Amino acid sequence: MSVERPQDIALCQCGSVLIYTEHFRGKRWLCMTCGRLYASAPRMQTWTAIAEQRWRSLDREFHLNCGNHLICIGQMRVDCAQCIGPPEQEHIYHATERDWQLCNDALKWLSDRTGREFVFVNGELGHSGVTRPVTRDSFTDEILRGGL
């Protein structure tokens, strides 16, 4: 199976390559550098081999350390007999203690990696704040972009 070359590469406001994920309700793009989440990519760059290599590296890092362990509403795991049914049931309803521990560890890793605190609240994953020290410049930058 061959993988098609993408036409464009999604970029964050900070200039880093974005990865695509379906773990965050209403947000499909994640920046592994600054931790911002986007519903749609704010900027696009023409495909280059270097940008694709960076995207693949970040995507692999996310899925290896975090993505395969996150639990969220609507998630059905193909490796779980209870999810694939019958009857089909979202993983969040029958996740084991180990699953929850892995999810918490993954959120901690993502928070440490990006500098934003990622949490699980009411069945959804998202931000709860910034873990890096906030400077006057970064605070102004966040406010202008509608963050914090």
Q: Which domain holds residue 94?
A: 8-144
Q: Residue 139's pLDDT band (boundaries 50, 70, 90)?
A: very low
Q: Is the pLDDT of residue 86 over 90?
A: no
Closest CA to 51 of 28, 17, 19: 17
Is 2 part of any domain?
no
Mean pLDDT, residues 12-23 taken together: 92
**43, 13 contact by CB (below 8 A):** yes
Q: What pLDDT, on a 0 to 100 scale, did the predictor assign at position 78? A: 87
Q: How far apart, in Å, do the first and last CA atoms of the chain sit?
A: 42
Domain count, the chain: 1
138 in any annotated domain: yes
Cβ neighbours of residue 143 closer than 8 Å, sequence gap 6 or more: none
At 147 the pLDDT is 39
Please report whether residue 13 resides in a domain: yes
* Mean pLDDT score, 106-134: 82
Residues 42, 52: Cα–Cα separation, whole Å: 18
Report pLDDT digits (tens) over 93-106. Answer: 999 999 999 999 99
Q: Which comes out higher in pLDDT, residue 53 or 141? A: 53
Share of the chain above pLDDT 90, in %: 51
Phi, psi dihedrals of residue 8, rounded to the nearest 5° = -135, 160
**Phi, psi (5° rounding) for residue 146?**
85, 20
For residue 3, tell me if it sits in a domain: no
Q: How far apart are CA 14 and CA 31, in angstroms?
A: 9
27-36, 55-64, 71-80, 135-144: lowest mean pLDDT where? 135-144
Q: What is the pLDDT of residue 131?
A: 57
Instruction: Report whether pLDDT(146) > 50.
Output: no
Give a yes or no: residue 127 inside a domain. yes
Kindly provide the residue ranges of all beta strands, DSSP E only, lying in the chain, ordered along the sequence.
Answer: 8-11, 18-24, 27-31, 37-38, 43-46, 116-121, 124-130
pTM over 0.85: no
